[in-house]
Amino acid sequence: MLKDVVDVRVMDDYQLHLWFEDGVQGIVDVADFVAFTGVFAPLRAHDYFRTVHVDAELGTVCWPNGADLDPDVLYSLVTGEPILMAEHEALLVA
């Protein structure tokens, strides 16, 4: 089951405090797992990074240029739970 992001707050540097639909919350440091290249290059500028918002349709955080982060990866980073590949494979078949 997917864990959608329902709220986000920008913390220090490249950290985001995330709230998920199941009540789980926590902080991720985006700089730990995103290379600020390609579509993510604008995020290097703190002012642009702070334009992050939740896209309810996608269930995750995104920026005005279309950059977004996988909610399953974010949930795994917050909880320490592994990402189950079967969930992703089921989504590809559907």
Domain 5-93: top CATH class: alpha beta
User: Region 15-44: what's the mean pLDDT?
Assistant: 97
Pairwise CA distance, residues 11 & 38, whole Å: 23
pLDDT per position as a tens digit, 30-41: 999 999 999 999
Give 40 or 92, the one with higher predicted confidence.
Answer: 40
Residue with tokens 């920026």: 63
Is the pLDDT at 88 greater than 90? The verdict is: no
Q: Which two tokens stand for residue 14?
A: 């490249």
- Helix then strand count (H, E) for the chain reads 3, 5
